[in-house]
Amino acid sequence: MPDMAQSRLKVTVTRKLPDIVEARLAALFDAAFNPSDEPLSPSALLKAAQETDVLAPTLGDRLDADFFEAVGDRLKLVANFGAGVDHIDVAAARRRAITVTNTPSVLAEDAADMAMALILAVPRRLVEGVRALEEGAFHGWSPTWMLGRRVKGKKLGIIGLGRVGQAVARRARAFGLEIHYHNRTPINPHVEAELEATYWESLDQMLAHVDIVSVNCPHTPATFHLLSRRRLELLQPHAYIVNISRGEIIDETALADMIAEGRLGGAGLDVFEQEPRPNPKLLAAPNVVLLPHMASATVESRIEMGERVIINIKMFADGHRPPDRIIPGLE
């Protein structure tokens, strides 16, 4: 597409983006937007993709192998608005010569802030305290009421010490947590030394050792139910789980059962396996903090994500390799 002028490039955005991002897209391309912000139906999504050069989807849009088989020949670029691409069959896109990009890096700090907020909120029972006030259950200070757990000195096990995981580790160290992590391979030794992080090749062994688990790895076929019932049962009864990544990484039914049975200390979840509906047992548990997938929901991150989408489209339109191209198997 290097011979196509940017102003003639048809770009279709599937969800409402910040006004400043939409204005910039409209100034640069022949851009079509979704003014209602309602997710497109599968048929409407396919029709939109068949009639555009560039599709800018979000995580709610499922672009599977059947989608790419039916999309036709016009679509050349999927410029995803988001870092995760588990909703896109990247290999199927590549077979159709369709490039896929994402928006990495810009979410790390905001996502890490939310992970740290949950790491603090669950052991210190912050949401329970708010509810007590709202329900009139607070009758004055007591030395034994609403006791939580101290965070300083606890062992934090981070699953996936990438950009977000490292940002979580830096925040956690400031609160006096001891950093442990599990990756497919150890991180750079200099970064590991800076974070004073201990690498565990065995996830099972790390889970049995730590007090708090932070899930920061991407969702892939290899990480689906990575925290299975068997692995959850390795955790100590006082342990807490925090997840701001993807709900499918945890067996949510097993997690809900164990919390209901008092076999875990609690959980802080920003994502769910059957999003947007969390397991009813989690909704009923007092020691669980549930958030509506808002870890990256800051004005700054959404605008930066939009800018990354624009950069990827512009580079592609100019005949260059987009900086955030996804390579199948490495996403």
Catalytic residue annotation = 246, 275, 293
The kind and range of the H/E element at 58 are none
| Residue whose structure tokens are 């050349």 | 76
Distance between CA atoms of residues 237 and 262, nearest Å: 8
The kind and range of the H/E element at 199 are strand 198-199
- Residue 311: Cβ-neighbour burial (10 angstroms; 0-12, 13-18, 19+): middle
Amino acid at position 227, single letter:
L
Beta bridge partners of 101: 79, 325
- Residue 35: Cβ-neighbour burial (10 angstroms; 0-12, 13-18, 19+): exposed
CA dist 116 to 102, 167, 213, 321, 328, Å?
25, 10, 11, 36, 31
How many H-runs (helices) and E-runs (strands) does the chain carry? 13, 12
Distance between CA atoms of residues 155 and 91, nearest Å: 38
Beta bridge partners of 213: 157, 241
Distance between CA atoms of residues 105 and 209, nearest Å: 30
**What number of other Cβ atoms are within 10 A of residue 242's Cβ?**
28
Cβ distance 45 to 14 under 8 Å?
A: yes
**What number of other Cβ atoms are within 10 A of residue 314's Cβ?**
15
Cβ distance 170 to 196 under 8 Å?
A: no
Task: Please tell me the total number of residues recorded for the chain in this structure.
Answer: 331
Cβ distance 24 to 306 under 8 Å?
A: yes
